[in-house]
Amino acid sequence: MATIFFFLTLFTLTCTTLSTSLYLSPKTTFSNYNKMLQSFKIFIYPPSTSTLFTTPQETHFYKSLLHSPFITQDPSQAHLFFLPFPSSISSRNLARLIRNTRINFPFWNRTLGADHFYLSSSGVDSSSDRNIVELKKNSIQISCFPMSSGLFIPHKDVTLPPIHTFQVNPPSTNNTKTFLGYMKLTETEIITDHGKLIEEINNHPDFKVDQNGKLNIKNSRFCLFVYGSDMTWMVEAMASQCVPVVITDRPIQDLPLMDVIDWSEIAVFVGSKSGVKGLKRVLDGIGENEYEKMIESGVVAAQHLGWNAEAHAHDAFHMIIYQLWLRRHTIRYARWVEQ
């Protein structure tokens, strides 16, 4: 698949203009990011096979990592160790891979895998094998958002934002937006959850539901997504100044950059239970100042969530690396040597 990437040339990221509330730790995020650029080192184990990853975001992350300055050939310099294996690997082969890593290299035993990370598009399944249990419990898993499978451990795991091509048009001078909310549904997409709510939205004059976005994204105050369905264009919505609304009846733990940015500053999360009336009440309750702030923060967040053909500062690749950097502190057990 030939992937094309978007370039956000319209906006230049300057730390001074950022709305600091977007970041969970606004005081430390940028100095820590700079420290990462200077010192972060990752050791990659020799890959087990040549064809590795199936989704474009995994492939692109891996390629960007290989071309990045974060790689070291010297494991004694490494903060983290990357264990590459195909997402389609069988449990048996995965167990064998970890066992071999444990025997042939001294690094796994020091932390039982806690300073290791791996890519797996939909997550590694539970297993009774000791090797896989250690990988799953201790190592950092990078998978693809959204992770509807539940194979995700919030305090350590990370998700990759989807890769999605779009062009950012100049912000329109026309501030009037025709619709309160817009929902893009593709013909092939059958949403089993929330079918009743979607029907209500479809029949409500303030909302627009159709298949093809562009103009409607720009002409709507809010862009509606059902969690777990096609969310690939969420970043496009933010960049196009349409505030994302995520419809979900349970807390979402796997949002990309969840421990770096404050998602409540850029998106609205609503349940489905009170129907289109409840949805409208929530959206109408957002004041104009708050709305403008969400638009601004969303435009900045879109740069952190967007991929570039060549990695840019503060883009999705660098922000995933930053999440790994935040997870580098692990205790390494000294080997007990008998005298």
Q: Which residues bind ligand NAG (CB under 6 A)?
A: 102-103, 106, 109, 172, 174, 176, 178, 218-219
Alpha-carbon distance 123 to 128, whole Å?
16
Q: How far is the CB of 242 from ligand NAG (least distance, A)?
A: 12
- Of 214, 226, 221, residue with least CA distance to 179: 221
With respect to ligand NAG, which residue has the nearer C-beta, 187 or 338?
338
Alpha-carbon distance 91 to 34, whole Å?
38
Residue whose structure tokens are 């002409």:
219
N-terminal to C-terminal alpha carbon distance within the chain: 58
Q: How far is the CB of 135 from ligand NAG (least distance, A)?
A: 14
Residues 6+ apart with CB under 8 A from 265: 19, 21, 22, 293, 294, 297
Q: How far is the CB of 206 from ligand NAG (least distance, A)?
A: 15
Residues 6+ apart with CB under 8 A from 51: 86
With respect to ligand NAG, which residue has the nearer C-beta, 226 or 239?
239
In this structure, the number of other CB atoms found within 10 A of the CB of residue 130 comes to 13
With respect to ligand NAG, which residue has the nearer C-beta, 4 or 337?
337
With respect to ligand NAG, which residue has the nearer C-beta, 67 or 214?
214
Q: How far is the CB of 234 from ligand NAG (least distance, A)?
A: 21
In this structure, the number of other CB atoms found within 10 A of the CB of residue 9 comes to 7
With respect to ligand NAG, which residue has the nearer C-beta, 106 or 154?
106
Q: Is 245 left (phi over 0), alpha (psi -120 to 50) or beta?
A: beta
Q: How far is the CB of 175 from ligand NAG (least distance, A)?
A: 8
With respect to ligand NAG, which residue has the nearer C-beta, 50 or 176?
176
Residues 6+ apart with CB under 8 A from 41: 70, 71, 72, 77, 78, 79
Bridge partners (DSSP) listed for residue 226? 247
Alpha-carbon distance 251 to 272, whole Å?
13
With respect to ligand NAG, which residue has the nearer C-beta, 7 or 333?
333
Q: How far is the CB of 229 from ligand NAG (least distance, A)?
A: 26
Q: How far is the CB of 253 from ligand NAG (least distance, A)?
A: 32
With respect to ligand NAG, which residue has the nearer C-beta, 10 or 309?
10
Q: How far is the CB of 149 from ligand NAG (least distance, A)?
A: 30
Q: How far is the CB of 178 from ligand NAG (least distance, A)?
A: 5
What are the φ/ψ torsions at residue 78 (nearest 5 degrees)? -80, 135
With respect to ligand NAG, which residue has the nearer C-beta, 218 or 314?
218
Instruction: Please state, in angstroms and as integers, the Cα–Cα distance from residue 3 to each residue in 165, 193, 308, following that order.
Output: 8, 30, 10
